[in-house]
Amino acid sequence: MAAIISAEGVGKVFQQRVSQPGILGAIRSFVAPVTRPVHAVADITFSIAAGEAVGYLGPNGAGKSTMIKMLTGILTPSVGEVTVLGRKPQQERVANARDIGVVFGQRTQLWWDLPLSDSFELHRRLYRVPDALFSKNRAALSDMMELTSFIERPVRHLSLGQRMRAEIAMALMHDPKILFLDEPTIGLDVVAKDVVRKFLSRINRERGTTIILTTHDLQDIEEICPRLIMVDEGRLLFDGTLPALRKSFGARRRLTLEFSGDPGEVRLVGARPSGGEGLLREFLLEDDGRSLVQLLAALEASSDVRDVRLHEPSIEEVIRTHYQSKGSAPAPVTGRPAVPA
Ligand SMILES: Nc1ncnc2c1ncn2[C@@H]1O[C@H](COP(=O)(O)OP(=O)(O)OP(=O)(O)O)[C@@H](O)[C@H]1O
Ligand SMILES: [Mg+2]
């Protein structure tokens, strides 16, 4: 499949002001500011085919938002080249905007004091969405995201979860080929996260919309994105699937079983015992494709499991484990064949 998004050796350097201590320092900083370069993105190369759903993953300050801003035409790369649907996003911002949808989890694009329906109407005009398409999309998306009960309410009265559902729906009103989302699940509770994840998977599956989303949360990747790109300190660490990441980065999921009585030694096919005392037994999952249900079904019928807890490592844990095992910053790992340009 041909690539519709590509980054070739992309880097972005910001000049950040260095503050100097004391009153004299403040005066000096004002008269002759001292800056230092920050390599927010460094030498990133990837390509994404039409219809993919890709998670762009990394801890705070890894360069995720900076990359999304370059892909959406808000920023220009300092080096290298970004191509989206055959265009350079910054040079053809208007044409690019018609073909993409953008959602920033930390900054609303809805009109705060107006009813939600007015924001949709303004979006229709801004993007010159044909009436028939707008009516169809507004009805379908409002239904899928359950917006109808609050569509006439001012945005400032909506909960964060309601607002995020509305943001995503609005970004899709003009039928974009690609949807970029910067931290769409940040700050949402478990239920709201689930609604957003299910919706994004559905849009990707049913409409074939290509999705690129940034996140800190491996659960987002698990549920939406068959592929993930992991970055840290601007650099690419991994490009591949979540099971491949768990395997090569050694950050496996942990399963804790609690029994009603002392279970003695417990064996589970597809999981390695890693501790536990009393009524608890802990295992590291092998990620061999077996589901949790299959794992538990293999337990002896006599064992009396009272509770099951699954612990997904955080992105920080994954990266820490990786650096600890290597002893230094690594060369990028690729877990999948590159998409041909
Ligand atoms: N406009 C800017 N001017 C100067 N430095 C910037 C600017 N934007 C980002 N940076 C710096 O670039 C680095 C990457 O920032 P970026 O916002 O892309 O990270 P991020 O992965 O999105 O982090 P987060 O998870 O916190 O959202 C950080 O060190 C940040 O301070
Ligand atoms: Mg960010």
Domain closes at, from 232, 247, 262: 247
8 Å CB contact between 238 and 272 = no
Inter-residue contact 228 to 301 (CB < 8 Å): no
* Domain span at 91: 3-247
Q: What is the pLDDT of residues 83-136, one digit of tens each?
A: 999 999 999 988 999 999 999 988 889 999 999 999 999 999 999 999 999 999
Which tokens belong to 11?
Answer: 């880097």
Task: Specify the ligand 1 atom closest to the Cα of 62.
Answer: 21
177 touches 95 (CB < 8 A): no
Residue 17 lies in a domain: yes
pLDDT in tens, 274-318: 888 889 999 988 877 777 888 888 776 667 888 989 888 878 888
Same domain for 300 and 212: no
The preferred substitution site among 19, 44, 65 for testing ligand 1, maximizing ligand atoms within 8 Å of CB, is: 65
Q: Is residue 279 located within the same domain as residue 227?
A: no
CA distance 158 to 79: 41
Distance CA 122, CA 78 (A): 34
Instruction: Identify the bridge partners of residue 38 per DSSP, sorted by sequence position.
Output: 14
Question: 183 C-alpha to center of ligand 2: Å?
Answer: 7
For residue 327, tell me if it sits in a domain.
no
Same domain, 29 and 120: yes
Residue 183 contacts residue 216 (beta carbons within 8 Å): yes
Spatial distance between the Cα atoms of 125 and 116, rounded to a whole number of angstroms: 15
The pTM of the full predicted model, rounded to 2 decimals, is 0.84
Is the separation of the CB atoms in 12 and 77 below 8 Å? yes
CA of 64 to the centre of ligand 2 (A): 5
Residue 331 DSSP SS3: coil
- Verify that 21 and 102 share a domain, yes or no: yes
Number of domains the chain contains = 2
- Separation of alpha carbons 226 and 212, rounded Å: 11
Task: Say which residue, 310 or 13, is predicted with more confidence.
Answer: 13
Task: Report which residue type is found at 72.
Answer: T
Does 321 fall in a domain?
A: no
Residues 158 and 266 in one domain: no
Low-confidence winner among 12-16, 105-109, 191-195 (lowest mean pLDDT): 105-109
Q: Is residue 77 part of a domain?
A: yes
68 and 165 assigned to the same domain? yes
Q: Mark whether 113 and 155 lie in a shared domain.
A: yes
Number of helices (H), then strands (E), in the chain? 11, 14
Residues 79 and 158 grouped into a single domain? yes
Distance between CA atoms of 103 and 72, rounded to whole angstroms?
A: 11
User: Cβ(66) to ligand 1 under 6 A?
Assistant: yes
Q: Is residue 105 assigned to a domain?
A: yes
Residue 85 and residue 205 in one domain: yes
In a domain, 329, yes or no: no
Q: Is 71 in the pocket of ligand 1 (CB under 6 A)?
A: no
Distance 147 CA to ligand 1 centre (A): 33
d(CA 301, CA 278): 20
Which residue has 């299959």 as its token pair?
294
Ligand closest to CA 75: 1
Residues 212 and 260 in one domain: no
Q: How far is the CA of 331 from the centre of ligand 1 (A)?
A: 22
Same domain for 37 and 152, yes or no, is yes
Indicate if 296 and 210 belong to the same structural domain.
no
Is the CB of 185 inside a 6 Å radius of any atom of ligand 1? no
